[in-house]
Amino acid sequence: MKCPYCHFEDSKVIDSRDADNKKRRRRECISCGKRFTTYETIELIPLMVKKADGTYQPYSREKLFRGLLTATKKRPISLEKLNSIVDEVEEKFAKSMQGQISSAEIGSVLLEELRKLDTVAYVRFASVYKDFDSTRKFIELISELDK
């Protein structure tokens, strides 16, 4: 590890501990003796999302979270709960070690989570995700929920 002060190429590790899913290392430069902290994280494979039209775009946690916020607007659901849903989705797809995932797979997982959490948010999200174009589809979805 290069020293941020004198740019010497070598340092020694004084202390190492876990911090927020990272490895925190306290280091000391062998040349100048100054101390500095580094963080080690796991390098994840960038996840690409295959859209319905066949194009690809980088996965965006913010976009996923915004979709959940819209679906749960004016509903009694905390931001912490929404964050935990996004965390669960990310963890599920990170464990699969795939470099790409379809938007349909992501949407299905989100729908299942919303169905357990809040039926109104579920219907809102489903109407956009499934691209409802008639009231008949709303009625079918709500009838399915009542079963």
Report pLDDT digits (tens) over 79-123: 999 999 998 888 888 777 678 899 999 999 999 999 999 999 999
Selected residue with higher pLDDT from 99 and 67:
67
Report pLDDT digits (tens) over 109-119: 999 999 999 99
Q: Does 56 share its domain with 128?
A: yes
Q: Does 29 share its domain with 59?
A: no
Q: Does 141 share its domain with 111?
A: yes
Q: Does 60 share its domain with 91?
A: yes
What is the reported pTM?
0.63
Which residues constitute the domain of residue 82?
Answer: 48-146
Neighbours of 73 (CB within 10 A): 11
Counted domains in the chain: 2
